Amino acid sequence: MTGIEGSFWRTVAVFRVASLVYAAVLLVRAGGYADPALGWLVLAVMAGWTAATVFAYSVEAARGRPLLAADMLVTVGCLLTTPAVQGAQQQGSMPVTATWMGGAVLAWGVYGGRRAGAAAAAIVSLADLWTRGVPGPDSGDLPVNGTVLLFLAGVLVGHVARLARRAEARMQQAIEMEAAGRERERLARGIHDSVLQVLALVQRRGLSLGGEAAELGRLAGEQEAALRELIGARPQPPPAGTADLCALLRAHASARVTVSTPATPLTLPERTARELAAAVGAALDNVVRHCGDRARAWVFAEADGGTVTVTVRDEGPGIPEGRLERAAAEGRLGVAQSIRGRVADLGGTVTVVSAPGHGTEVELSVPAET
């Protein structure tokens, strides 16, 4: 887990552990509530799920809607046991999950922003209010307070997480632009000392000689002017809310991975670009996992009309027929979730072409406006 988003997921993990301890303290202080056996069973489920989510949310490829949906189901399921566990003590008191139920709200907020956080808060709040029934005159205003706190947590955490991701993206763009500027200046010095001087010399000598040499000199002068303009141009940042897919894909380049992108930026909505780049990263991880850490891979990106297509190709042993389907049935969902799931969420398609002994080609296509 790296970057600013990883910090938010670590915070959710810490909250989960701390709120689990708080729920256990309340259970002990209440003497196990009306049904101690069921109460400790629910706490055991909460503890197991806490351990599972702390691990799962630390893996970027696992942080998707299927896991978040399962998180919400487990949270609501534990919350709905409150009347059976607490009995008559339940009215006006903390539910058996205590503040642990807020973990799912925070997770959805970090993943999807303030709207997802608000939706998750609404689901958990409705389940909490349902367990309490119609509040009596002596029940106090705890259900309302709890609902308000859940909505505040979901909306605020989601909003801050979205702002932090945007700030990190802008900072990364600034770093890349600074590095590109330094490289451009280095190349400009070298070009100025060699190519530009040669072109200027050809222009002067050609004009002085006349005839066909003069035409050659004129062409050399035009190329000198174009080259000076090229090396003097400064890269412009993409508009707010967008990202350059080419820059994100070039981050995967290495001695074994060749990345080929258009000379001009492929500007996409920020979420589309980052999710597509993450799917490419998952495909490259599969190359290492199944072909070895020295296997070569090639990444090609292109735009055709309203579609952006990225192809990941390797020269590994290939995928036997039916292997992906068996892996999905066995619960190994690397391709199904990390690649197909991401691209499907963007309204795109994934095509896998492979045969034993002939390598694998994964083609990811998404609409340019998603």
Q: Specify whether 63 is located in the same domain as 155.
A: yes
Both 124 and 258 in one domain: the answer is no
Residues 18 and 44 in one domain: yes
Q: Is residue 222 domain-shared with residue 247, that is, in the same domain?
A: no
Task: Please check whether residues 52 and 133 belong to one and the same domain.
Answer: yes
Does residue 183 form part of some domain? no
Q: Is the pLDDT of residue 236 over 70?
A: no
In a domain, 186, yes or no: no
Contacts for 266 with CB less than 8 Å, ≥ 6 apart: 244, 245, 246, 273, 301, 303, 308
pLDDT, residue 1, reads 46
**pLDDT given at position 232:** 60
The string over 141-153, giving b where at least 16 C-beta atoms fall within 10 Å of a residue's C-beta and e elsewhere, is eebeebbeebbeb
Tell me the DSSP string of 8-61: HHHHHHHHHHHHHHHHHHHHHHTTT-S-HHHHHHHHHHHHHHHHHHHHHTTSGG
Of the candidates 179, 214, 232, which is a domain's last residue? 232
Average predicted confidence (pLDDT) for the chain: 82
Whole-angstrom distance, CA of residue 166 vs CA of residue 172:
10
Q: Identify whether the C-beta of residue 40 lies closer than 8 Å to the C-beta of residue 27.
A: yes
Indicate if the alpha-carbon torsion angle 53, 41, 142, 31 is positive or negative. Answer: negative
pLDDT tier, 300 (very low <50, low <70, confident <90, very high otherwise)? very high
Q: Is the dihedral of CA 70, 72, 43, 132 positive or negative?
A: negative
- Give mean pLDDT, residues 18-29: 92
Is residue 6 pLDDT above 90, yes or no? no
Please check whether residues 105 and 38 belong to one and the same domain: yes
3-state DSSP call for residue 365? strand
Percentage of the chain exceeding pLDDT 90? 31
d(CA 330, CA 326): 6
Confidence of residue 175 (pLDDT cuts 50, 70, 90): confident
Task: Give the CA radius of gyration of the chain.
Answer: 29
Are both 34 and 152 inside the same structural domain? yes
Cβ–Cβ under 8 Å, residues 52 and 16: no
Residue 158: per-residue pLDDT? 87
Q: Which of 152, 167, 182 is the last residue of a domain?
A: 167
In-domain check, residue 269: yes
Same domain, residue pair 21 and 76: yes
Residues 60 and 206 in one domain: no
Assess whether 83 and 216 both reside in one domain: no
The pLDDT of residue 43 is 94
- In which domain, by residue range, is 271 found? 242-367
Average pLDDT over residues 38-59: 92
Which pLDDT score is estimated for 265? 83
Domain boundary among 204, 232, 260: 232
Q: Check whether residue 220 and residue 327 sit in a common domain.
A: no
Residue 187 located in a structural domain: no
Highest mean pLDDT among 58-62, 234-238, 285-289: 285-289
How many domains does the structure of the chain reveal? 3
Q: Is residue 180 part of a domain?
A: no
Q: Which residue has the higher pLDDT, 282 or 264?
A: 282
Is 23 within the bounds of a domain?
yes
Report yes or no on 176 lying in a domain.
no
The residue assigned the tokens 């990225």 is 310
Is residue 257 within 8 Å of residue 310, measured between CB atoms? no
pLDDT for 146 beyond 50: yes
Domain of residue 291, CATH code: 3.30.565.10
pLDDT tens-digit series, residues 109-134: 999 888 999 999 999 999 988 887 74
237 part of a folded domain: no
The CA distance from 336 to 125, in Å, is: 32
Q: Are residues 37 and 154 in the same domain?
A: yes
Residue 140 has pLDDT above 60, yes or no: no
Per residue in 301-359, pLDDT (tens digit) is 998 878 999 999 998 888 777 666 666 556 555 565 678 888 998 999 999 888 777 78
Q: What is the pLDDT of residue 166?
A: 81
Is the CB of residue 38 less than 8 Å from the CB of residue 82?
no
